[in-house]
């Protein structure tokens, strides 16, 4: 009898703890199932964390329901970044940030403070300095760093990633002596390692410990949630990263949803026993795809172009794989049931990937949702090939605003028609997924939404927008960061819109994003972030 009473009491306690939640008095905005902008006033969330009902002004008489008044604030579905690097976001954020330093003295002060605040860091890693902005206008040296930290290695990268300065302890750890020859394509002077020489030190940086990985994932989650992202596709997950994500899932500390794409065929074989995973931890982790690379990036002239670079006519960039190699690797992934996401920046790389997917579609049918990551520079003649081959364009609006001047230099004025061609792609009925490529760009999706609708950066540059014919509408932009990103991850039955049966992932923001100018939209602040019907982040 006594045990029965206790059991009954426990049941009652848990049933009140598992009450439904009504979020009411909201200015709800989402892209509806019909692709049009839909307004709503609240949602009723079941005790399973899923949407029970979307409200359009009606009053509900409910018992056993927690009421949360949104105070008339704007509510959106949780935003989804269709292309990011989750662990790298966390690791980068935990490193010493040297952007904006104005002198060697300021670099030294920040290094000193960081070393004091991180006594357990075995190596001190940092990045972001630019000697052009310093009063001294000279490169930093090992001696500059030794004066502040000499007890452990220090390695600080320049803003462009093409040089880094080591202290003496780092050079010692790497076995460097004055007799060490810089490898070809590299240079070493007074502790400054340039280009190919950087690998001498980088090869010796210890792999992150389990504790460091867990800290990085925690930091990445905090950054995602505070920026309104409730989910992201992780492009190129490695075995250690997959393990960290699973540890968080098992510990109940995974508060974002990660759609994982294994890093290449080796990553695919090393993760999850070489098979796609189930949807784990209440749909918070899923390995569904493999990420491959067709070429490099435009800035470093690694993007593979059909014609020579305008600003370096002796090169067309880098082709990473032959047609046969790409098809072999793609087949290895597709035959194992994986989705494919292939990085392609240059027009030659994009044409190669499209041809590969055309072949795969003949073998595997047309709902395998082949993804091209970036799809930055395309030959206008190739763009109409996307839709028939069942290809999704996974694009990053802030790459356009960051890259436009560089892209003009690399390609010249006559080859920009198929560059960052969002509206052209959209008009052809090709599914679009939007993302940021964090930490290459900020994980904040609002500057991305603003760039998508304006082709302008957060400061409104250039006036009128860059190639404004490729702007998309607000509903198309929001769709790219919600439904489109969910569809691109085979997750549209679970997330991407607030409808009965899908997870109650949503955010409350400080302004009506459907009514403001692009630059105001880009500065939207997130107030609350909810995942699976629970508030997991709140602005303090």
Identify which of residues 70 and 231 has a Cβ nearer to Zn ion in the complex: 231
| Binding of Zn ion by 437 (CB under 5 A) | yes
Q: Name the residue whose CB lies closest to Zn ion.
A: 437
What H or E segment, with its residue span, contains residue 81? Answer: strand 79-84
Alpha carbon 10 to its chain's center:
42
Identify which of residues 169 and 235 has a Cβ nearer to Zn ion in the complex: 235
Closest separation in Å from C-beta 402 to Zn ion: 13
Task: Compute, in degrees rounded to 10, the torsion defined by CA atoms 254, 255, 257, 262.
Answer: -30
CA distance 42 to 190: 62
Closest separation in Å from C-beta 59 to Zn ion: 46
Q: Is 364 helix (H, G, I), strand (E, B) or coil?
A: helix
Identify which of residues 261 and 537 has a Cβ nearer to Zn ion in the complex: 261
Q: How many CB atoms lie within 10 A of CB 527?
A: 18
Identify which of residues 263 and 496 has a Cβ nearer to Zn ion in the complex: 263
Q: What is the residue-wise DSSP string for 100-136?
A: T--SHHHHHHHHHHHHHH-TT-SSEEEEEE-GGGSSS
Identify which of residues 268 and 507 has a Cβ nearer to Zn ion in the complex: 268
Q: Between the CA of residue 515 and those of 55, 79, 519, what are the distances in Å? A: 21, 18, 12
Identify which of residues 38 and 373 has a Cβ nearer to Zn ion in the complex: 373
Closest separation in Å from C-beta 437 to Zn ion: 4
Identify which of residues 343 and 502 has a Cβ nearer to Zn ion in the complex: 343
Closest separation in Å from C-beta 417 to Zn ion: 24
Identify which of residues 442 and 519 has a Cβ nearer to Zn ion in the complex: 442
Identify which of residues 296 and 465 has a Cβ nearer to Zn ion in the complex: 296
Identify which of residues 193 and 293 has a Cβ nearer to Zn ion in the complex: 293
Q: What are phi and psi of 66, to 5 degrees?
A: -80, 135
Closest separation in Å from C-beta 21 to Zn ion: 36
CA distance 80 to 84: 10
Report the site for Zn ion in 275-304 (rule: CB under 5 A). none
Identify which of residues 352 and 376 has a Cβ nearer to Zn ion in the complex: 376
Closest separation in Å from C-beta 374 to Zn ion: 8
Closest separation in Å from C-beta 212 to Zn ion: 22
Closest separation in Å from C-beta 31 to Zn ion: 25
Report the site for Zn ion in 363-392 (rule: CB under 5 A). none
Q: Is 291 helix (H, G, I), strand (E, B) or coil?
A: strand
How many residues are present in the chain?
540
Q: Find tokens 């059909």 and name the residue.
A: 306
- Using CB under 5 A, which of the segments 142-150, 216-224, 273-281, 434-442 binds Zn ion? 434-442
Q: Among 370, 351, 404, which residue's Cα sits nearest to residue 487?
A: 370
Identify which of residues 373 and 505 has a Cβ nearer to Zn ion in the complex: 373
**Contact (CB, 8 A) for 294 and 304:** yes
| Binding of Zn ion by 403 (CB under 5 A) | no
| Binding of Zn ion by 144 (CB under 5 A) | no
Please measure the distance between the N-terminal and C-terminal CA atoms of the chain and give it in whole angstroms: 48
Closest separation in Å from C-beta 344 to Zn ion: 12
Report how many residues bind Zn ion under the rule CB under 5 A. 2
- Using CB under 5 A, which of the segments 49-57, 97-105, 436-444, 481-489 binds Zn ion? 436-444
Closest separation in Å from C-beta 396 to Zn ion: 8
Sheet bearing 96-97, strands edge to edge: 96-97, 124-129, 154-158, 163-166, 192-195, 186-189
Closest separation in Å from C-beta 165 to Zn ion: 26
Q: Find tokens 């004066």 and name the residue.
A: 147
CA distance 374 to 395: 5
Report the site for Zn ion in 195-254 (rule: CB under 5 A). 235
Q: What is the residue-wise DSSP string for 301-325?
A: T-S--SS-BTTBTT------S-HHH
CA distance 272 to 336: 13
Beta strands 285-293 and 229-237 are unpaired
DSSP state of 78: P
Identify which of residues 87 and 235 has a Cβ nearer to Zn ion in the complex: 235
- Using CB under 5 A, which of the segments 384-392, 433-441, 466-474, 523-531 binds Zn ion? 433-441
**Alpha helix (H) residue ranges in 412-492:** 422-427, 445-454, 474-480, 483-488
Q: Find tokens 């579609």 and name the residue.
A: 361
CB neighbour list of residue 429: distance below 8 Å, 6 or more residues apart: 387
- Using CB under 5 A, which of the segments 56-64, 245-253, 431-439, 512-520 binds Zn ion? 431-439
Q: Between the CA of residue 483 and those of 231, 444, 480, what are the distances in Å? A: 12, 18, 6
Closest separation in Å from C-beta 387 to Zn ion: 24
Closest separation in Å from C-beta 29 to Zn ion: 29
Which chain residues interact with Zn ion by CB under 5 A? 235, 437
């Amino acid at each position: 009898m006594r045990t029965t009473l206790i059991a009954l009491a426990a049941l009652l306690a848990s049933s009140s703890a598992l009450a439904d939640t009504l979020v009411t008095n909201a200015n709800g905005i989402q892209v509806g199932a019909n692709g049009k902008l839909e307004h709503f006033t609240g949602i009723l969330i079941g005790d399973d964390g899923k949407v029970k009902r979307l409200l359009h002004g009606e009053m509900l008489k409910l018992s056993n329901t927690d009421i949360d008044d949104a105070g008339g604030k704007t509510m959106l579905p949780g935003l989804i970044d269709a292309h990011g690097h989750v662990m790298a976001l966390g690791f980068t954020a935990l490193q010493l940030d040297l952007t904006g330093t104005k002198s060697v003295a300021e670099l030294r002060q920040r290094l000193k403070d960081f070393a004091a605040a991180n006594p357990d860091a075995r190596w001190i890693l940092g990045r972001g300095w630019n000697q052009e902005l310093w009063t001294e206008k000279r490169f930093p040296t090992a001696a500059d760093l030794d004066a502040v930290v000499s007890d452990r290695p220090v390695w600080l990268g320049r803003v462009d990633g093409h040089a880094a300065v080591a202290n003496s302890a780092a050079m010692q750890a790497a076995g460097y002596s004055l007799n060490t020859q810089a490898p070809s394509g590299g240079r070493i002077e007074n502790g400054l390692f340039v280009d190919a020489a950087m690998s001498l030190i980088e090869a010796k940086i210890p792999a992150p410990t389990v504790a460091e990985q867990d800290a990085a994932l925690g930091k990445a989650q905090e950054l995602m949630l505070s920026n309104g992202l409730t989910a992201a596709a992780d492009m190129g997950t490695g075995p250690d990263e997959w393990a960290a994500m699973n540890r968080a899932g098992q510990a109940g500390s995974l508060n974002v949803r990660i759609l994982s794409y294994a890093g290449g065929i080796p990553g695919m074989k090393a993760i999850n026993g070489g098979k796609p995973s189930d949807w784990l931890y209440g749909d918070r982790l899923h390995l569904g795809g493999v990420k491959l690379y067709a070429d490099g990036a435009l800035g470093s002239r690694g993007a593979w172009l059909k014609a020579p670079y305008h600003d370096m006519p002796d090169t067309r960039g880098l082709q990473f794989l032959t047609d046969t190699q790409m098809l072999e690797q793609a087949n290895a992934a597709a035959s194992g049931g994986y989705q494919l996401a292939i990085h392609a920046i240059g027009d030659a790389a994009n044409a190669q990937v499209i041809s590969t997917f055309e072949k795969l579609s003949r073998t595997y049918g047309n709902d395998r949702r082949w993804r091209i990551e970036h799809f930055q520079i395309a030959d206008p003649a190739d763009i109409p090939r996307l839709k028939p081959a069942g290809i999704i364009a996974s694009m990053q609006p802030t790459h356009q605003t960051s890259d436009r001047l560089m892209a003009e230099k690399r390609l010249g004025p006559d080859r920009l028609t198929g560059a960052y061609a969002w509206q052209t792609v959209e008009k052809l009925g090709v599914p679009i997924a939007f993302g940021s490529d964090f930490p290459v760009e900020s994980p904040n999706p609002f500057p991305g939404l603003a760039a998508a609708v304006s082709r302008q950066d957060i400061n409104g540059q250039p006036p009128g927008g860059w190639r404004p014919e490729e702007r998309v509408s607000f509903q198309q932009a929001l769709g790219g960061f919600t439904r489109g990103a969910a569809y691109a991850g085979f997750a549209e039955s679970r997330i991407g819109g607030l409808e009965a049966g899908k997870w109650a992932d949503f955010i409350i923001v400080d302004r009506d994003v459907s009514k403001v100018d692009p630059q105001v939209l880009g500065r939207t602040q997130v107030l609350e972030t909810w995942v699976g019907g629970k508030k997991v982040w709140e602005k303090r």
